[in-house]
A and B are shown apart, each in its own frame.
Chain A
């Protein structure tokens, strides 16, 4: 990040034309977009906080662990998997907790690490991207992103088993 900013600094310092005007134009547009996101984020984050507090995640983990066990996904990582699509902070918290409980170099810890790096907060990203321009129908975005995420989970565990054990 500092590298990119230094590059921009060089452009501002040594460029032939004054570019700071462009920076201000861009920043103003960014400001506008960000302000319009608050209503969406408000609903989304309230919903996610409520769901996290309600104990639904623990309950669903228990329910789903036999199914995921069948395809080779360790059951310890389920609470992390269930929060991953919705919230960056909640899934980071459960990732850290998981590493502390089972160890960063255990099978479950390694699987979770690979998933942590290769997946992202899908529901959050799609909602924010689309609502920022007033799109109401996301069409196939959720099914495709879910399929990719499931593939990512399955393949990470499969590869970790091959790679480390």
Chain B
């Protein structure tokens, strides 16, 4: 999957670099990109350490379990396997709460912890299982209460009323998440369908 993305990027950049006469810029972007990757990893390194540690403390102290129980009636249906086995379920709750509270930086470490634990119950470790796909998709279309980042950027750009977009953001956000849940629900239906077919064959 990543190989294809990387391959497409490289060929496209060469092609457009030649077409637009920006080949020297493309060449310069390679070492810059590599250096930036280290930079991003370093930033992530600190964040991962801090938030994974925080998550562990909260989980040991039973705070996450309380949040998890509140979400259970809803998330039980979206992540049935994680809920049943308990592996990764708390981390999923932490990820979604972090996104909701607008602490997006903390969401990545939580989600990576969740992925690791869910991987333990993945029958085909080379390909993502349905709940891993669901978590990834939900993270790309996350529900955010206060997009602080956006408000700051809008104010900096001289907006008369930076807050004017709040309600449209909420409406769009809720609809996007619902649409994501709707699409991922087909995955679960298909899985259930193939299960029943497989068990019928067994009989």
C-alpha spacing A128/B28, complex, angstroms: 25
C-alpha spacing A23/B54, complex, angstroms: 6
C-alpha spacing A127/B139, complex, angstroms: 12
**Can you spell out 13 A-B residue pairs with CB atoms less than 8 angstroms apart?**
A23-B54, A29-B113, A30-B113, A33-B52, A99-B159, A114-B172, A119-B140, A129-B139, A137-B1, A144-B133, A144-B137, A147-B179, A151-B176
Instruction: Select which of B2, B53, B104 is within 8 A of A27 by beta carbon.
Output: B53
A62 CB to closest chain B CB, in angstroms? Answer: 11
Q: Report whether A54 and B26 are in contact in the complex, using a CB–CB cutoff of 8 Å.
A: yes
Other A-B contacts than A33-B116, A56-B12, 18 sampled, CB-CB below 8 A, are A22-B59, A26-B57, A30-B50, A50-B33, A54-B14, A103-B157, A104-B158, A109-B159, A117-B165, A118-B169, A127-B1, A130-B115, A134-B119, A137-B127, A145-B136, A145-B137, A148-B179, A164-B164
Q: Which residue on chain B has the smallest CB distance to residue A20?
A: B57
Chain A residues with Cβ below 8 Å from B160 are 104-105
Q: Which of B8-59 touch A at CB < 8 Å?
A: 9-10, 12-17, 19-20, 22, 25-26, 28-30, 32-34, 36-38, 40-41, 44-45, 47-59
A102 CB to closest chain B CB, in angstroms? Answer: 10
C-alpha spacing A1/B109, complex, angstroms: 14
Given A104-B162, A118-B173, A127-B2, verify A96-B126 contact (CB < 8 Å): no
C-alpha spacing A112/B28, complex, angstroms: 30
Q: Report whether B5 and A44 are in contact in the complex, using a CB–CB cutoff of 8 Å.
A: yes
Chain A residues with Cβ below 8 Å from B135 are 129
C-alpha spacing A51/B8, complex, angstroms: 10
Q: Report whether A50 and B133 are in contact in the complex, using a CB–CB cutoff of 8 Å.
A: no
C-alpha spacing A8/B56, complex, angstroms: 10
| A71 lies within 8 A of chain B by Cβ | no
Instruction: Select which of B30, B41, B141, B147 is within 8 A of A38 by beta carbon.
Output: B41
B145 CB to closest chain A CB, in angstroms? Answer: 11
C-alpha spacing A8/B166, complex, angstroms: 30
Report B146-171 CB contacts with A as 1/0, cut-off 8 Å. 01001001101111111011011101
| B61 lies within 8 A of chain A by Cβ | yes
Q: Report whether A52 and B176 are in contact in the complex, using a CB–CB cutoff of 8 Å.
A: no
Q: Report whether B41 and A46 are in contact in the complex, using a CB–CB cutoff of 8 Å.
A: no
| A31 lies within 8 A of chain B by Cβ | yes
Q: Report whether A30 and B51 are in contact in the complex, using a CB–CB cutoff of 8 Å.
A: yes
| A65 lies within 8 A of chain B by Cβ | no
Instruction: Select which of B5, B34, B126, B150 is within 8 A of A116 by beta carbon.
Output: B150
Q: Report whether B45 and A144 are in contact in the complex, using a CB–CB cutoff of 8 Å.
A: no
Q: Report whether B140 and A125 are in contact in the complex, using a CB–CB cutoff of 8 Å.
A: yes
Q: Report whether B13 and A50 are in contact in the complex, using a CB–CB cutoff of 8 Å.
A: yes
Q: Report whether A25 and B56 are in contact in the complex, using a CB–CB cutoff of 8 Å.
A: yes
C-alpha spacing A20/B144, complex, angstroms: 30
C-alpha spacing A122/B63, complex, angstroms: 30
Q: Which of A31, A126, A160 has the most CB of B within 10 A?
A: A126
Chain A residues with Cβ below 8 Å from B109 are 30, 33
Chain A residues with Cβ below 8 Å from B33 are 45-50
A66 CB to closest chain B CB, in angstroms? Answer: 20
Given A1-B103, A23-B56, A30-B49, verify A50-B136 contact (CB < 8 Å): no
Chain B residues with Cβ below 8 Å from A99 are 153-154, 157, 159
Instruction: Select which of B15, B37, B183 is within 8 A of A147 by beta carbon.
Output: B183
